[in-house]
Chain A
Amino acid sequence: MSTTSTTMTSPRAPQTPLSRFATLQTADRLLCGVLIALSLFALALGIAYGVAMALVRSGLLAPAPDTGYRVLTLHGTTAFFYWLYTAQAATVLLLAAAEKKGALALRGLAWAGTALIAAGFVLSELAAIAGPPLLYEANPELGTDDPRTVAGMTGGYLLLAAGFALIALSSIATVLATRRQADGGLSALGFGLLAWAGFLIVSAVAAVNAFLPGLLWASGFGAFPHAATTDWHILFHNLHYLPLMATVLVWYALAQDLTGISPATGTAFSKIVFASYLVFVPPTSLYHMFLEPGLPESVRVAGSLLSLFVSVPTLIAFLIVVASLEIHTRAGGEGGMRARLRRLPWDNPAMANMGVAILTMLIGLAFAFVLIQEKLAPLLSDTMFVPGYFHFFAVGTVTQSFIAMLAMAVPAVSGRPLWRPRLLCVMPWIVLAGLLLFGAGGLGAGLMGVPRRVVDIGYGGEAPAIWRPFMAMVGIGGVLFASALAVSVFGVLRSLVPGRRGLAAAAEPHVAAARSAAAPAAAAWTGPLAVVLLVAAMYGATIGAFELMQSLPVTAAGGGAH
């Protein structure tokens, strides 16, 4: 069996949550607090729209068609754009300020960015509520009769993009002002933040490329954006990678904070892994084009081969984090895997959030690979298979990681202890249970051909009866994970309200004792074993999907939606 032999060394003293964020300046606490509150407000709204959608899709609610599609649009716009990108803006600023151990650089730019994001949020929501539903990609073809709505949606997204680009600039300036390590370089996390902030700026450029033509057309200054679908694909590809890169950086920071150890593989290797995210972004983008009818066969083949590399950086980062955690638990004494797992600080909500994030990433990856197969993509891309797998990433991996980060940072920002940490420790596991139910229902429904963007799937009583139980699972699972997530959001938001005693030291959930001394080499095989199991699961899921699809009388093909 393959093993990773590692040495636990600490070139610098590991940080605990309070020490990481304790140096935040008062003005920066206010800025970060506003961004966190804005992001959590967006998440709370996104959850509410999501619950409504789950009830509609399971048949428990039957709204007018326009209302159903409007809720679908609002759910995607609010949760995918405004929660994920405002949370990233808050996270990159928080971690940059913590790296510098001093005031944020270019704070005025960051405030301007926050104001732009808030303005974009209001504009996008109003446009989505008042106008015809364009779906979350602000598809101009759906708004040819109402250009004002296209202008509102695209304008909102452009404000969001400008906002997170300004915040990224402030983060870059802050990281560059950090004290250098002994070799004159940045810390691994500092370099990762720099790369991530650069990627945020590039994604803002991709947003301009995707949405500016629509805004110009809707405002009477340009031709109709016929390339909108292609331009959306580029942005969409970047928007896939960004939250995952953010997630592994959060894991990297939290693994140190929660266990007190430095990452097992050293600073240089970690920097290479963070840079590899950016290396793999452009070459793996072609698979989004699989549904385009005019794509040359050679490009399809190349895209299919390159798509196999799509998760390489995430898996390597996963190996580093899991190996670091395993070394921490092995250093705590003898015992099997169960005993070692128990040594992790599970009574800290952030650990529970991170544990669920890691598990859901593995589950999501297994099914993501089914979807990027050139032969299966046209059959499954417009079905419930897509929401079935991507909620493992969006709600499980990414959102749970951001909640973990906020659970650690918010007490330092507000000076108030985390609200009911024991209750918040339970919520991620309920989210996982809900996701498993939702995912099983969604994946099953997708394989049975249930369309994902059709609100009423009854088809006048002609729909196959087998669709109903799968969609009921989607509804029940969705309400379950949304309810638990709502409790987590409330807990973090409640803790954000400043305490009456000002910035008193916040009582902190359990954090493992820091081990700054060198420890003996240890064999950490859990990570490699997990990757082997994951690859086996990918093969199994792909073969199973092929076999099932061949056995069904499927004639429909996808239409290019994402």
Chain B
Amino acid sequence: MKLEIVLMLAVAAIWLALALVYALVPGLDMPGYIRVWGIGALVFLALAAVLYRARRNQT
């Protein structure tokens, strides 16, 4: 379960990092990419949170 949470957090971190790159780098004028990768980061963060909660309920 710990591995699953770490993997989901890693995915969320990478998606968030890409959203920030698209938001902050001049020349990458693609707001759609910021929205999709940013919301994606939130989705995987939520999945990590759900897994964490399930782990706590078990222990």
Contact = CB atoms under 8 A, between A and B. Distances in A.
Interface of A: 172, 176, 180, 183-186, 191, 194-195, 198, 201-202, 205-206, 209-210, 227, 230-231, 234-235, 238, 268, 271-272, 275, 278-279, 281-283, 285, 296, 298-299
B24 interface: no
Contacts of A185: 1-4
Contact of B1 (A172, A180, A202, A206): A180
6 contacts: A205-B40, A231-B32, A238-B36, A268-B3, A271-B4, A296-B27
Contact of A275 (B8, B43, B51): B8
A285 B8 CA distance: 20
Contacts of A234: 30, 32-33, 36
B28 A202 contact: no
Interface string B20-43: 000000011011110111011001
A198 B4 CA distance: 13
Given A279-B10, A282-B15, A205 B3 contact: no
Nearest to A295: B27
A349 to B, nearest CB: 34
B7 A282 contact: no
Interface residues on B, range: 20 to 34
A220 to B, nearest CB: 22
A142 B32 CA distance: 21
A504 B55 CA distance: 39
B14 A227 contact: no
Nearest to B16: A282
Given A191-B4, A283-B14, A278 B44 contact: yes
A275 B7 contact: yes
Contacts of A191: 4, 7
B37 to A, nearest CB: 5
Given A176-B51, A210-B32, A227-B31, 9 more contacts: A184-B1, A185-B2, A191-B7, A202-B39, A227-B30, A227-B32, A230-B30, A279-B11, A299-B28
B11 A176 contact: no
B49 to A, nearest CB: 12
A278 B11 contact: yes
Contacts of B44: 198, 202, 278
Contact of B7 (A180, A209, A272, A298): A272
A202 B45 CA distance: 12
B6 to A, nearest CB: 9
Given A205-B40, A283-B14, A194 B55 contact: no
Contacts of B27: 296, 298-299
B47 A172 contact: yes
Nearest to A213: B32
B47 A285 contact: no
